[in-house]
A and B are shown apart, each in its own frame.
Chain A
Amino acid sequence: MRFIGLILVVVAIVVAAGAHASALIDPPSFIMVFIGTIGALLFAGVSIPSMLKAFASANLEEEVKQQAIRGWKFAAGFSLALGASATFIGLVIMLKNMDDPAAIGPGFAIANLTSFYALIIAFAISLPIYKSLERNP
């Protein structure tokens, strides 16, 4: 069921963006938030296999479930934090290139799309998963 939900969220975003959907994809921002969150989770010593197990299957042992709740909460926190940091990185890039309008674009893309990706990870993916895990003890 969770796969259907994830696909529905992605489809809803793409439909809302319509013809501008390609403007929502920026490889540097994507790498900073998605890969960066995975890196931060590894650094925090969170069990990523149990997070994936909790995403895919319904019947879990108690210990795996607790580790998954912990992992998805950290995923939400880290993605928001990396989004905030990357927003400032984009802003500084923009400020440094104020006299060169062509260079403002990439900085602006990083500044805004990272917070967009961070909000998707935190509130469209992690929050529903860890709340549902907490609800079914």
Chain B
Amino acid sequence: MNVPRIVGFVMLITTLMVGIGSNLSSMTDPGSLVLVVGGILGMLLLGRHNIGGMITAVFSDNADETTVRQAIEGYKMGRYYSMAAAAVALGIGSIVVLKNLNDPGSIGPGLAIALLSTLYALLLGFVLFPGLQSGLENRLPEPVPVDERLVPGALLALVFCTVMTVAVFGVLTASFTAG
């Protein structure tokens, strides 16, 4: 980790905070965090990835090449695992929402939990892990091309989030005007 990369990370967090503003407490949900981070860690362990190496390779500049390559592989799979965790979280969230359909007051919070785990998974899988992976790839002797699926995958996530937003907002507005 060199200084520009740390500056970039701080910039990223600050800009997200600008958008969140005074709603920070509604953006943190321990349950979703445990589900996403725990899920990804569990899947990495199941896949026998070297998690210790993944952490040391990022923070120490003199890690040997084998560790760096293993860490790159780990972050690459972490991107896929985070999408899997998001899918699981969405499933759990929709069950919670559907279970409480007769109590309109609990739909909003339940939905927020389902959305927050997807949000954490998106930030991990499409921003944090690709960033760490790219930083490690710069250290390899040979140039590594960018994953061809990076842009289509992110586009799919954006389309999904936009459709989801319009659908959720439309349903809620309709139920408010009808009731």
A interface, CB within 8 angstroms of B: 28-29, 31-32, 35-36, 38-46, 66, 69-70, 73-74, 76-78, 80-96, 98, 108, 110-112, 114-115, 118-119, 122, 127
Contact = CB atoms under 8 A, between A and B. Distances in A.
A92 B115 contact: yes
Contacts of B26: 92-93, 96
A91 B165 contact: yes
A87 to B, nearest CB: 4
Contacts of A122: 151, 154-155
> Which 4 residue pairs are nearest across A and B when measured between Cβ atoms?
A42-B8, A39-B11, A81-B126, A80-B154
Main secondary structure of the interface of A (DSSP, over half): helix
B21 A80 contact: no
B4 A86 contact: no
A46 B127 contact: no
B79 to A, nearest CB: 10
Contact of B7 (A36, A42, A90): A42
B164 A45 contact: no
Interface stretch (B33-41, B48-56, B61-69, B117-125): B117-125
A36 B143 CA distance: 26
Nearest to A35: B15
Given A43-B12, A85-B122, A122-B151, A78 B127 contact: yes
